[in-house]
Structure 1
Amino acid sequence: MLKKLLGVTTATVFALGLVACGSDEPVDGGSESEEPAGEGTEEATGFDGASVDYQIVGIDPGAGLMNITINDVLPEYGLEDDWTVVESSSAAMVASLTSAYENEEPIIVTGWSPHFKFNNFDLKYLEDPLNIYGDTEDIHTVVRLGLDEDQPEAYQFLSQFQWEPEHIEYVMALIAEGTAEEAAAEQFVEENEELVATWTDGVEAVEGEELELLYVAWEETIAATNVVGHVLETLGFDVTLTQIDAGPMWAGIASGSGDAIVCAWLPTTHAEYYAEYEGQFEDLGSNLHGTQLGLAVPTYMEDIHSIEDLVVE
């Protein structure tokens, strides 16, 4: 059975961790604008930023998506004086989105794919004419130095682990609908034997070798880590899943206190951690292609299409 731990793995990692400071409370949708008609882009597009209190509902402070939104997107589009990105968490963002969606209220969130919110809600990304969020990202598998020598079977399996967005979104949907994480992983593995066989091809079974996978509390990361952990258990590994923040996760791999992560979003989301610890881990490459970052809104918000529509003149 997979062992799951919350928190960091060592005192050293604690010291290197990032502390979340955002509220977990859903963000209020805001009030109607009393700004005179005909002023600025809002009148031209029909979108009124006051309807969301000029707030973009974000996630964990320090996340790459938050950094690029606050430090690049807002200033490049001239939004920094009028708009605020609210520090929150993935769970709090989804709670805010769910509340707004159920009442057909306007809301703007920091979005990423794959994520079950795109399965549960009709959402759209705002166009990014300046391409600041960049093209699609990949999710990489990253392991501690020396894993290839210490645990070659685990290393081989992790090197061969690859799947598609629809695979992970299926697991995410199962979990979001109430299936236990381990049960969802087991169901996926049972239903996708041919795919899983490509991951385990040539990998010999072991007897109780301990392996620790680190992960952050993001829905897609929870899904992926549980699937990988389940397959490793079937190969005879004694797997521990440790949930921590992104900073301690990367520090744990760099220090060798954790063995692997299968949730490194690159080249944007985890760029700062990748650069900080480069040379202290091994990047096994992409395990999933086709991710996306941006600002997302419900499709019923028909009067907003682009980040440029947020400009207040």
Structure 2
Amino acid sequence: MKMKTPIKLLSLASASLLLAACGGEETSDNEEASIGEQLDYTITGIEPGAGITATTERALEEYDNLDGWELETSSTAGMMGQLDSAYGNEEPIVITGWTPHYKFEQYDLKFLEDPEGTFGEPEFVHTMARMGFEEDMPNAYAIMENFSWEVDDMQSIMLAAQDMEFDEAAANWIEENQETVDSWTEGIEEANGESIELGSFPWDSERASSAVITQVLEDHGFDVTVNNVDPSILFQALAQGEVDVTVAPWLPTTQGAYLEEYGDEIVDMGPNMEGTVIGLVVPEYMEIDSIEDLNAPE
């Protein structure tokens, strides 16, 4: 019996029970089609300039089953609002996601498997500087080169910042992890108010890292200005010497294209964090596990 019930108003679990009660067979194809119809074959994304946006657009081209799907770009806040609404009503949603991010603490989510490897392996967050930064400010360069922390460190600040300003959350983390911070600055002379232009991205993960390294540098005598811009602008600014240093780029996949374009004009100081992940994310209650489970419109 083919159901005429408006499935989009039901959770997947409720739809399964209704089909069973009416004698219908639940098949993976029906389930997948209902997901696509409910979502209008749309993936909920973030800012147009984000690396994960470009990677997702590439996935739409590389996966045959995503033919007919579209990526809706808006903002990280907009994506989180749609996720919160869908999750609260146990409705399906597919978002562009990454860790570390506090949404994985707020909601029960999972990454969809990526058989084609479009989203790449776990990534690294790098520290990068303009040409000449080491010669101009060797003490600042040394601190930035020593800067290294874990995903859980960043995640804890992001979570705390839901109830306070990032500066306060960062200050609390520094106080609780003073030994780690001391390892970044040990043996390095304090500055006399030299100005540093720190480049970053307007996302919570980078707000956390920028807030921490800004306070560390300022506590060591530097005057830091943070510039939050899109990745393409940040890489260009580093290459042109308009920004001194950054702890924000995700490599090799998320911002890899920008490094290919500007890498010869930028100093890559290496990873400051490892184990970050990007991909397509869905709530655990959705009974799909792979990107290939999202089928194209008929």
TM class by shorter chain equals 0.7 to 0.9
Deviation for aligned residue 1:40: 9.0
Match of 2:232 among 222, 244, 247: 247
Structure 1 residues 39 and 188, CA gap change in structure 2 (3 angstroms): closer
Structure 2 residue ranges without an equivalent (≥5): 1-6, 11-23
Compute the RMSD of aligned alpha carbons. Answer: 2.2
Identity %: 42
Deviation for aligned residue 1:283: 0.4
Deviation for aligned residue 1:38: 8.3
Q: How many residues align?
A: 279
Structure of larger gyration radius = 2
Deviations 1:208-240 (A, max 9, x none): 111111111111001000100000010010111
Partners of 1:290 and 1:214 in 2: CA distance: 22
Is the 8 Å Cα contact of residues 218 and 224 (structure 2) preserved in structure 1? yes
Is the 8 Å Cα contact of residues 42 and 310 (structure 1) preserved in structure 2? no
Match of 1:132 among 118, 123, 128: 118
Match of 2:93 among 104, 107, 110: 107
1:289 aligns with 2:274: yes
Structure 1 residue ranges without an equivalent (≥5): 1-28
Aligned position for 1:163 = 149
For residue 98 of structure 1, give the secondary structure of its aligned residue in structure 2. Answer: helix
Aligned position for 1:50 = 37
Deviations 1:230-265 (A, max 9, x none): 000100101111112222111111111111110110
Is the 8 Å Cα contact of residues 58 and 88 (structure 1) preserved in structure 2? yes
Q: Aligned letter for 1:123?
A: L
Which range moved further: 111-120 or 162-171?
111-120
What TM-score results when the alignment is normalised by the length of structure 2?
Answer: 0.88
1:151 aligns with 2:168: no
Deviation for aligned residue 1:193: 0.8
For residue 279 of structure 1, give the secondary structure of its aligned residue in structure 2. Answer: helix
Match of 2:171 among 151, 166, 186: 186
1:276 aligns with 2:261: yes
What TM-score results when the alignment is normalised by the length of structure 1?
Answer: 0.84
1:77 aligns with 2:84: no
Partners of 1:200 and 1:98 in 2: CA distance: 40
Is the 8 Å Cα contact of residues 92 and 283 (structure 2) preserved in structure 1? yes
Partners of 1:74 and 1:199 in 2: CA distance: 42
Aligned position for 2:221 = 236
Deviation for aligned residue 1:98: 1.3
1:201 aligns with 2:186: yes
Is the 8 Å Cα contact of residues 97 and 279 (structure 2) preserved in structure 1? yes
Q: Aligned letter for 1:87?
A: T
Is the 8 Å Cα contact of residues 113 and 292 (structure 1) preserved in structure 2? yes
Is the 8 Å Cα contact of residues 46 and 304 (structure 1) preserved in structure 2? no
For residue 93 of structure 1, give the secondary structure of its aligned residue in structure 2. Answer: helix
Is the 8 Å Cα contact of residues 35 and 92 (structure 2) preserved in structure 1? no
Is the 8 Å Cα contact of residues 128 and 306 (structure 1) preserved in structure 2? yes
Partners of 1:183 and 1:48 in 2: CA distance: 41
Aligned position for 2:16 = none
Deviation for aligned residue 1:305: 1.1
Is the 8 Å Cα contact of residues 31 and 50 (structure 1) preserved in structure 2? no
Partners of 1:268 and 1:66 in 2: CA distance: 11
Structure 1 residues 40 and 272, CA gap change in structure 2 (3 angstroms): farther
Partners of 2:157 and 2:29 in 1: CA distance: 39
1:263 aligns with 2:244: no
More helix by share: 2
Partners of 2:134 and 2:234 in 1: CA distance: 20
